[in-house]
C-alpha cells in the first residue's frame, strides 16, 4: 500500500485508490445489505458527494457504508480525507459519535411534503413509503377491510364440544380468585378478565361448525368463533379498530 501521508492536506478531499482503504475490523455500526444497496444507488444517482475519513494507514474512521457501496459499484477510487491529528482514543470516540449523533426521528408531515413530486431514488423503499403514508403496497389504508384470517380445510371430523376449548388455566384462576380476600366487586371483575385464558381449537371449531344446526352456526359467527362475513365480524367486534377508522369505513359504504 502506498504511503498516504503525502496526501494529507487539512480538510482537503483526496482521490484514494479503493484498494488502499481498509475497513475498521471492530466497527460497531452495522450495515445490512439493504442499506448498502441504498447507498450504492445514491452514489450512482448523485455521485460520491461525501468523502470517507481514513487515518494515515488507510483505516476507515467514518464511511464504512460508502466503502462497501463503492466496492459493490466496482469503483477503483473514492474521495477521502486523511486524518492525522487525532489520537487512537479520539478516533474511536469520533467513530462512535459520528454514528450516534446522526440518529434522529423524521418529521413525517414535512417529509411527505419534501417527497411530493419526487420521482426516482429517495432512499425510501416501497415498504417504508407505504408505512409513511399508512398504506399497503396495493394502495389501501393499513386500516382497510383487508384482513387475513386462517383457513381450515374441513375433513369430516365431528368433534365433541369439550374438544373445542381448553379452560384449565381459567378454572385455576377462578379458584385463586375465590380464595382471595379482595372485595366481591373485584372478584367479579377478575373472573371476567380470567376468561382471556380460555384457549380455542379453531380447527376443531371449524369442523364442529360444518355439521351443527343453522341456529348454532349463526351464534358461532356472532361469537366470532368462525368468520364467514368479515364486515359482520368487524361490526360485532372481532376486528378491533379505532373509532375514527370505523367512521371512514361507514362513509365508504354510503358512497
Q: How far apart are CA 96 and CA 85, in angstroms?
A: 17
CB 204 within 8 A of CB 159: yes
- Rounded distance between C-alpha atoms, residue 75 and residue 84, angstroms: 25
One domain for residues 58 and 96? yes
Residue 35 host element (H or E): helix 33-46
Per-residue model confidence as pLDDT tens digits over 185-211: 999 999 999 988 888 888 888 888 888
Tell whether 121 and 178 lie within a shared domain: no
Domain that holds residue 177: 165-199
Q: Are residues 83 and 170 in the same domain?
A: no
Instruction: Assess whether 58 and 110 both reside in one domain.
Output: no
| 85/23 Cα distance (integer angstroms) | 19
Helix 184-194 vs helix 168-179: crossing angle, to nearest 10:
170
User: Residues 36-72: pLDDT tens digits?
Assistant: 888 888 888 888 888 999 988 899 998 998 999 999 9
- Cα separation, 223 vs 205, in Å, equals 12
Q: Examine the domain organization and report whether 39 and 69 are in the same domain.
A: yes
Do 121 and 221 fall into the same domain? no
Q: How many structural domains comprise the chain?
A: 4
89 and 123 in a common domain: no
Is 154 in the same domain as 210? Answer: yes
Co-location of 218 and 183 in the same domain: no
**Backbone angles phi and psi of 81, in degrees to 5:** -115, 125
**Pair 89, 117 in one domain:** no
Residue 155 and residue 240 in one domain: yes
Report the pLDDT value the prediction gives residue 141, as an integer from 0 to 100: 45
Residues 31 and 121 in one domain: no
The band of 254, judged by pLDDT with boundaries at 50, 70 and 90, is low
What is the Cα–Cα distance from 48 to 78, expressed in whole angstroms?
8
What is the pLDDT at residue 5?
57
CA angle at residue 162 from 230 to 219, to 5 degrees?
30
What number is the average pLDDT over the span 215-235? Answer: 71
Among candidate residues 88, 38, 100, the one with its CA nearest the CA of residue 61: 88
All three cell numbers of 88: 487512537
Give the max Cα distance, the chain: 89
Q: In CATH, what number is assigned to the domain containing residue 31?
A: 3.90.1530.10
In tens, the pLDDT along 129-138 reads: 777 776 544 5
- Helix, strand or coil for residue 162? helix
Amino acid at each position: 500500500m502506498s504511503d498516504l501521508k503525502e496526501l494529507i492536506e487539512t480538510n482537503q478531499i483526496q482521490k484514494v485508490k479503493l484498494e488502499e482503504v481498509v475497513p475498521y475490523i471492530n466497527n460497531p455500526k452495522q450495515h445490512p445489505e439493504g442499506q448498502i444497496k441504498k447507498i450504492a444507488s445514491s452514489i450512482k444517482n448523485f455521485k460520491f458527494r461525501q468523502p470517507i475519513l481514513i487515518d494515515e494507514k488507510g483505516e476507515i474512521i467514518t464511511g464504512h457504508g460508502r466503502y462497501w457501496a463503492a466496492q459493490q459499484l466496482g469503483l477503483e477510487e473514492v474521495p477521502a480525507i486523511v486524518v492525522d491529528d487525532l489520537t487512537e482514543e479520539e478516533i474511536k470516540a469520533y467513530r462512535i459519535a459520528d454514528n450516534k449523533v446522526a440518529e434522529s426521528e423524521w418529521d413525517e408531515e414535512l417529509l411527505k411534503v419534501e417527497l411530493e413530486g419526487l420521482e426516482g431514488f429517495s432512499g425510501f423503499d416501497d415498504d417504508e413509503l407505504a408505512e409513511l403514508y399508512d398504506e399497503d403496497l396495493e394502495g389501501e389504508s393499513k386500516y382497510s377491510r383487508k384482513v387475513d384470517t386462517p383457513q381450515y380445510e374441513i375433513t369430516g371430523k365431528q368433534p365433541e364440544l369439550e374438544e373445542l376449548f381448553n379452560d384449565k388455566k381459567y378454572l385455576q384462576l377462578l379458584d385463586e380468585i375465590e380464595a382471595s380476600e379482595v372485595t366481591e366487586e373485584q372478584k367479579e371483575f377478575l373472573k371476567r378478565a380470567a376468561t382471556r385464558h380460555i384457549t380455542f381449537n379453531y380447527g376443531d371449531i371449524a369442523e364442529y361448525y360444518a355439521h351443527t344446526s343453522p341456529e348454532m352456526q349463526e351464534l358461532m359467527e356472532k361469537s366470532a368463533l368462525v368468520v364467514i362475513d368479515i364486515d359482520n365480524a368487524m361490526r360485532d367486534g372481532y376486528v378491533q379498530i379505532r373509532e375514527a377508522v370505523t367512521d371512514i369505513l361507514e362513509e365508504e359504504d354510503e358512497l
